[in-house]
Amino acid sequence: MRNKYIAFAVLVVLLLAGFWVYGSKNTNYLSPFELSPTATPHHRVVVKIGEWEVDAILSQTQAEMSRGLGGVESLGENEGMLFDFTASNPPTAFWMKDMIIPIDIIWIKDGIIIQIDANAVPQPEVADSQLKLYPPIDRSVEYVLEVNAGYSEIHNISIGDVFVIVSQE
């Protein structure tokens, strides 16, 4: 009888360990709209480029900007992340650290798109120090919008297009 209890206890411990390992491996792989909802509330914005609207998470803090879309497995067709540099120093460059999906990086200044880095691809096997950098052509950018790779081409978004924040939550 004692052996049955020991076997049962071992089985329970193994199951709990398995759930813990599985859960810890998958918590980073969420949609951007599920990123740590209990830790910090994520502000959402709707932005418009031409006739197209994008529902985006607003990234304003250093921690949010550092994480970006890293670990996100997918974006909806009209979803993205908007980085707001109006109250902070603009970036020297973006990189694809911890990225799983390819993206278009859209750089905005004075409500106008000034640069598009289309189809920035993840580099999972590359050391951080060797990751490709995507610097802005003008360091005084105010916003950067990340969307699915190909979004700019599909929706004919180009340099000179007007960018507007439609709503903010």
Residue 58 is predicted with a pLDDT of 93
User: Does 107 share its domain with 64?
Assistant: yes
What is the distance between the alpha carbons of residues 135 and 157, in angstroms, rounded to a whole number? 19
Same-domain pairing of 85 and 151: yes
User: Does 116 lie in the same domain as 41?
Assistant: yes
CATH number (domain holding residue 68): 2.60.120.1140
Phi-psi region of 110 (alpha: psi -120 to 50; beta: other; left: phi over 0): left
Q: Which residues of 2-16 are buried (b: 16+ CB within 10 A; e: fewer)?
A: eeeeeeeeeeeeeee
Whether residues 8 and 57 share a domain: the answer is: no
- Same-domain check for residues 13 and 73: no
15-25 mean pLDDT: 42
- For residue 25, give its domain range: 1-29
**pLDDT for 86-108, tens place per residue?**
988 878 899 999 999 999 999 99
Residue-averaged pLDDT of the chain: 81
Helix (H, G, I), strand (E, B) or coil at 106: strand
Predicted structure pTM score: 0.75
